[in-house]
């Protein structure tokens, strides 16, 4: 059900941005940044909490074995990716280690950004609904593309092959369910100009909701 756009918490408006792998979340975040809007990225925070010396890295090594560490002691992300996207039990084990820490770190980053006085801020997360991070935001914006576009854009961008891209999509919320939980939707199936026009319209809407005039 759509949230009341004017009912923002005292600390200011937070927009949750979500969508499956390669739906275009980072591209959307950069388009909002062109309007002066900052964001916190859950994938980046997920990297921060497994940096060398962090307790989560030690717990992962304990649970998954030294084979998920590279020679320099850093997390071998590819090795861990291959384990967790073929074994849902292992994925849940990883999430039990990472998700509470990601959530805590996201809250701290959001607080810091809000203190800098932005019109509103974005929380960009592939698993906004799956992890309950949607409770941290006032409104959920879903970036929507067909699955074939996700696969094609993943293949064009990184080393994840089609089988693995499909396994990652299968580990995420189905498209229809995500759309059903959206307050706002961006159709990112066309091109960046089409995306930028939708972001500009939402920016006007969110500024009005935050009690601010349109961007001058
Ligand atoms: C498994 C890991 C090491 C793979 O790292 P890698 O650098 O290869 O990929 P990256 O982190 O960039 O993730 C790629 C994409 O996979 C998807 N993804 C990542 N973790 C998950 C998950 N637990 N469930 C479903 N999809 C996921 C997201 O769409 C993400 O954008 C890493 O994704 C990880 O630590 N995941 C657990 C933490 C997590 O849930 N992160 C998501 C943000 S809350
Ligand atoms: N409208 C578009 N037209 C063409 N290509 C696009 C469009 N939007 C995004 N892309 C491309 O698709 C790929 C995925 O986009 P992006 O990295 O923004 O997705 P993401 O949702 O942040 O991905 P991830 O879930 O892996 O973090 C990138 O290579 C990007 O340049």
**Interface predicted TM-score (ipTM) of this complex, two decimals:** 0.98
| 89 appears as a binding residue in the annotation | no
Q: How close is the Cα of 34 to the center of ligand 2, in Å?
A: 17
| 24 appears as a binding residue in the annotation | yes
What pLDDT is stored for residue 214 in this prediction? 85
What pLDDT is stored for residue 51 in this prediction? 97
Bridge partners of residue 187, in order along the sequence: 144
| 19: nearest Cα among 123, 159, 134, 173 | 173
pLDDT tens, N- to C-terminus, the chain (216 residues): 445 554 445 568 999 999 999 999 999 999 999 999 999 999 999 999 999 999 999 999 999 999 999 999 999 999 999 999 999 999 999 999 999 999 999 999 999 999 998 999 999 999 999 999 999 999 999 999 999 999 999 988 877 889 999 999 999 999 999 999 999 999 999 999 999 999 999 999 999 999 888 887
Which ligand has an atom closest to residue 19 CA?
Answer: 2
Q: How close is the Cα of 25 to the center of ligand 2, in Å?
A: 7
Distance CA 28, CA 121 (A): 13
The neighbour count for residue 137, using CB atoms within 10 Å, is 23
| 123: nearest Cα among 36, 194, 211, 25 | 25
Assess contact for 85 and 168: CB atoms under 8 A. yes
Residue 76 Cα to chain centre, angstroms: 21
Query: Any idea where the domains of the chain sit in the sequence?
Result: 13-38+118-210, 43-108
Two tokens at 60? 């992962």
Q: How close is the Cα of 204 to the center of ligand 1, in Å?
A: 32
CATH classification of 13-38+118-210 is 3.40.50.300, yes or no? yes
| 25 appears as a binding residue in the annotation | yes
Ligand 2 atom at minimum distance from 188 CA? 1
| 83: nearest Cα among 173, 168, 172, 169 | 168
Residue 109 Cα to chain centre, angstroms: 14
Residue with CA nearest ligand 1 atom 31: 21
Q: What is the pTM of this model?
A: 0.95
């Amino acid at each position: 059900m759509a949230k009341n756009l004017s009912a923002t918490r005292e600390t200011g408006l937070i927009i949750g941005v979500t969508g499956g792998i390669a739906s275009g979340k980072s591209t959307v975040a950069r388009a909002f940044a062109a309007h002066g809007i900052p964001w916190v990225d859950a994938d980046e925070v997920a990297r921060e909490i497994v940096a060398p010396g962090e307790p989560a890295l030690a717990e992962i090594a304990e649970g998954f074995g030294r084979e998920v560490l590279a020679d320099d002691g850093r997390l071998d992300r590819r090795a861990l990716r291959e384990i967790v996207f073929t074994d849902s039990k292992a994925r849940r084990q990883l999430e039990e280690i990472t998700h509470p820490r990601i959530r805590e770190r996201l809250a701290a980053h959001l607080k810091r950004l809000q203190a800098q006085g932005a019109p509103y801020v974005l929380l960009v997360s592939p698993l906004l609904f799956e992890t309950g991070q949607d409770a941290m935001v006032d409104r959920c914006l879903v970036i929507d593309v067909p699955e074939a576009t996700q696969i094609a854009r993943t293949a064009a961008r990184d080393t994840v092959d089609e089988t693995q891209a499909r396994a990652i999509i299968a580990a995420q919320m189905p498209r229809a369910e995500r759309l059903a939980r959206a307050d706002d939707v961006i159709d990112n199936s066309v091109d960046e100009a089409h995306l930028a026009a939708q972001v500009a319209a939402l920016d006007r809407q969110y500024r009005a909701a935050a009690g601010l005039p349109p961007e001058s």
